[in-house]
């Protein structure tokens, strides 16, 4: 059964890549010179990978050979002198990067970001290569937002049903048989060792962030461009939540060790103060970058290996790269669980450092 699933999954993934290579429109920048067939294929592979990693204003399951997107539209909502809303399939030119007139103003979608432009669709590029045009406030239900909402509703229904099932019987049934060991693992191996006797106050957050990241990571392994945890904005806000909980839960001992470390000479206290303050910021920064970098790297490696099949186009590549892709994909399944665990464990560690009672532990030792 597992082999059949792996073959089916790989076939869908390759078909999606082939379809995108033959049917998806290329970028607006014209090549300076004629490229060889191998260079063109490499360029198409890079564009496909970049497109896969970006968020999108529609949900594309596949692109056929004629370039038609198979999927469903999403609401495009933005504010610029009023709210503008329409379904993404109602303005095909806008979704293909063409300037579109909306209530007397022109807007253009460039790399899944909405820019205000003129009738010719002019984009002024800055020194960094990004457009400097005015951007309206984008409130669209993008692919990432849709997945966030679906995962949130799924978790609410799943765990609410699990809680109700325990009212009938203490023996887990259904999904609880799989989820209960994970919940106990987070409690016994993550929360209690790192936080101590105050762990119950933070179990709700730790369980939520663990399963939330886990479900998003697993969905990110699907061949439909679902790359939520590979979006640095998402990991930024997850890290901010840990930072706020840590900061507002911290006791006086925590702040004393940051602003005026006990048992240290005064000159060293003055040196350690900015270092400790900086440490309160680098901790959530490490959470943000670790999750973002690991999940993004996994997507890039898997898709790059598949793309190399079409770069080399020989028997050896047709055998070696599919095998390597399957190995890396199985490794990514492990990484999906591992990154959820690491984020939760480090969050518990930072919270535990903030709520640890040094004087209490000192008296308990005696």
Per residue in 39-98, pLDDT (tens digit) is 677 777 677 776 667 788 888 777 666 666 677 888 999 999 889 898 888 887 888 888
Do 140 and 148 meet the contact criterion of CB atoms below 8 Å apart? no
pLDDT of res. 36: 72
Report CA torsion sign: 139, 143, 144, 148.
positive
Interatomic CA distance for residues 263 and 286, integer angstroms? 29
> Do the domain assignments include residue 41?
no
**In whole angstroms, what is the distance from residue 246 CA to residue 71 CA?**
42
Q: Quick one: pLDDT at residue 89? A: 84
Burial class (CB in 10 A: 0-12, 13-18, 19+), 48: buried
Q: Are both 189 and 325 inside the same structural domain?
A: yes
- Whether residue 258 sits in one domain with residue 194: yes
Q: Are residues 156 and 102 in the same domain?
A: no
30 domain-assigned:
no
Q: How far is CA 365 from the centre of its chain?
A: 44
My answer on whether 249 and 136 are in the same domain is no
pLDDT of residue 8: 39
Shared-domain flag, residues 210 and 355: yes
Final residue of a structural domain among 107, 124, 140 = 140
**57 in any annotated domain:** no
Domain that holds residue 136: 76-140
Residue 289 burial (10 A CB sphere; 0-12, 13-18, 19+): middle
Based on the domain organization, do 186 and 275 belong to the same domain? yes
- The C-alpha atoms of residue 110 and residue 280 are separated, in whole angstroms, by 37
Residue 88 lies in a domain: yes
Pair of tokens at residue 128: 């960094």
Distance (Å, rounded) from C-alpha 136 to C-alpha 77? Answer: 10
Residue 29 falls inside a structural domain: no
Say what the pLDDT of residue 3 is.
38
Q: Write the CA distances from 150 to 137, 156, 230, integer angstroms.
A: 23, 10, 17
Distance from C-alpha of 301 to C-alpha of 327, rounded to nearest angstrom: 11
Domain match, 149 and 167 both: yes
Sites in the chain below the pLDDT cut of 70: 1-35, 37-39, 45, 50-52, 63-69, 225, 358-366
**Are 311 and 168 in a shared domain?**
yes
Residues 6 or more apart whose Cβ sits within 8 Å of residue 348: 190, 191, 194, 195, 199, 202, 206
Residues 198 and 327 in one domain: yes
Residues 124 and 186 in one domain: no
Count up the domains in the chain and report the number: 2
Shared-domain flag, residues 192 and 333: yes
CA dist., res. 153 & res. 149, Å (int):
6
Q: Is residue 38 part of a domain?
A: no
Residue 332 lies in a domain: yes
**Which helix or strand (DSSP H or E) is residue 109 part of?**
strand 105-110
**214 close to 342: Cβ distance less than 8 angstroms:** no
Q: Clarify whether residues 340 and 357 are in a common domain.
A: yes
Q: State which of 106, 140, 174 marks the end of a domain.
A: 140
pLDDT at 280: 86
Last residue of a domain, one of 140, 173, 196: 140
Q: For residue 5, tell me if it sits in a domain.
A: no
């Amino acid at each position: 059964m597992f082999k059949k699933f792996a073959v089916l999954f790989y076939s869908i993934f390759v078909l999606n890549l082939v379809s995108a290579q033959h049917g998806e429109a290329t970028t607006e920048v014209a090549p300076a010179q004629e490229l060889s067939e191998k260079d063109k294929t490499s360029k198409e592979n890079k564009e496909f990978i970049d497109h896969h990693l970006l968020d999108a204003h529609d949900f594309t399951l596949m692109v056929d050979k004629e370039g038609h997107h198979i999927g469903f539209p999403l609401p495009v909502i933005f504010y610029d002198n009023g709210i503008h809303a329409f379904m993404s399939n109602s303005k095909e030119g806008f979704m293909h990067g063409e300037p579109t007139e909306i209530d007397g103003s022109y807007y253009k979608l460039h790399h899944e970001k909405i820019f205000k432009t003129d009738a010719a669709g002019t984009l002024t590029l800055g020194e960094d290569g990004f457009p400097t045009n005015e951007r309206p406030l984008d409130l669209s239900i993008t692919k990432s937002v849709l997945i966030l909402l679906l995962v949130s509703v799924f978790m609410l229904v799943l765990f609410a049903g699990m809680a109700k099932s325990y009212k009938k019987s203490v023996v887990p049934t259904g999904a609880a048989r799989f989820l209960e060991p994970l919940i106990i693992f987070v409690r016994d191996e993550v929360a209690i060792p790192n936080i101590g006797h105050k762990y119950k106050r933070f179990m709700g957050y730790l369980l939520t962030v663990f399963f939330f990241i886990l479900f998003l990571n697993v969905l990110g392994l699907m061949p439909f461009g679902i790359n939520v945890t590979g979006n640095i904005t998402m990991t930024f806000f997850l890290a901010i939540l840990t930072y706020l909980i840590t900061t507002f839960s911290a006791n006086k001992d925590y702040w004393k060790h940051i602003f005026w470390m006990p048992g240290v000479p005064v000159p060293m206290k003055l040196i350690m103060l900015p270092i400790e303050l900086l440490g309160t910021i680098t901790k959530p920064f490490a959470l943000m970058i670790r999750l973002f970098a690991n999940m993004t790297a996994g997507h890039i490696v898997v898709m790059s290996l598949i793309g190399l099949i079409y770069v080399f186009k020989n028997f050896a590549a047709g055998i070696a790269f599919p095998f390597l892709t399957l190995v890396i994909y199985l490794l990514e399944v492990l990484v999906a669980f591992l990154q959820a665990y690491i984020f939760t464990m480090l969050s518990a560690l930072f919270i535990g450092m903030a709520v640890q009672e040094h004087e209490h532990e000192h008296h308990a030792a005696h």
